[in-house]
Amino acid sequence: MINIRDLTKLYKERVVVNQLNLQIHQGELFALLGQNGAGKTTTIKMLCGLLSPTEGDATIDGKSIVQNTQAVKQVINISPQETAVAPNLTVYENLLLFSQIYGYEKEKAQQQVYDKMALFGLTPHQHDKAKTLSGGYQRRLSVAMALMSNPKVLFLDEPTLGMDIRARNDVWNILKHLKGHVTIILTSHYLEEIEALADRVGIMHHGQICALGTIQQLISETGKHSLEEVFLEKTEEALL
């Protein structure tokens, strides 16, 4: 579904993503894990067509992110780190706007909005302006909006940042429902989130994937006891 080949990004002379090679399968929930600055968001932005790679390419559903960015944008969607809701529109209006942007007829659009509000527990807040929602509810709305286009591939950059335990649990349950139907690439610093959701994990360090596999594989390959121990070993810096 996603085939990344030698994907590279330089900011001035600084290499931020370094000849990344990775395949992500259809319907898989793939977690990208890495320290601050490892290159996760930059990778996601390139895959979404928001940033041009310096070198390399990737195909999504057979379409090149370099040659065919518009076609890629038709099959993907993203819930970015910075929540992308229109602050002065209500929950209902935000969702309806997105549904209509994606070209759904009014009746179909309204039905989609009601479905997504129910799925995300947003119905009681449908008349609230987005700016009055708590951070956790804004994230829920942002993820719901990303699903309005019924994407084949969904990128979620730290989807549960700032959510309380129940809100996080609700989003996890939604993502578990989507697994197998939508290919999901998720970044998160919460290891328990990755343990709960991910089919496979890629640990990113200095712009490269330094470990790849299921959590069980990573644990048994390294002889460690937990994903946290694996992560700490793989991202350890040499002491000067």
Tokens for 19? 């000849």
- Strand boundaries in the chain, DSSP class E: 2-11, 14-24, 29-34, 55-60, 63-64, 76-79, 153-157, 183-187, 200-205, 208-213
Note whether 82 binds ligand ATP by CB under 6 A: no
Note whether 34 binds ligand ATP by CB under 6 A: yes
**Which is nearest to 169 in space by CA: 148, 193, 186, 191?**
193
Cα(189)–Cα(44) distance, rounded to whole angstroms? Answer: 15
Residue 153 pairs with which residues in a beta bridge? 76, 183
Residue nearer to ligand ATP on the CB measure, 30 or 92: 30
Note whether 36 binds ligand ATP by CB under 6 A: yes
Site map 41..80 versus ligand ATP, x via CB under 6 A: xx--------------------------------------
- CB 97 → ligand ATP: shortest distance, Å? 27
Answer for which of 7, 22, 31, 38 binds ligand ATP (CB under 6 A) is 38
Answer for which of 31, 40, 183, 208 binds ligand ATP (CB under 6 A) is 40
How many Cβ atoms sit within 10 Å of the Cβ of residue 220? 12
Binding residues for ligand ATP, rule CB under 6 A, total: 10
Residue nearer to ligand ATP on the CB measure, 12 or 225: 12
Q: Are 169 and 194 in contact (CB under 8 A)?
A: no
Residue nearer to ligand ATP on the CB measure, 80 or 95: 80
DSSP state of 237: P
- CB 37 → ligand ATP: shortest distance, Å? 4
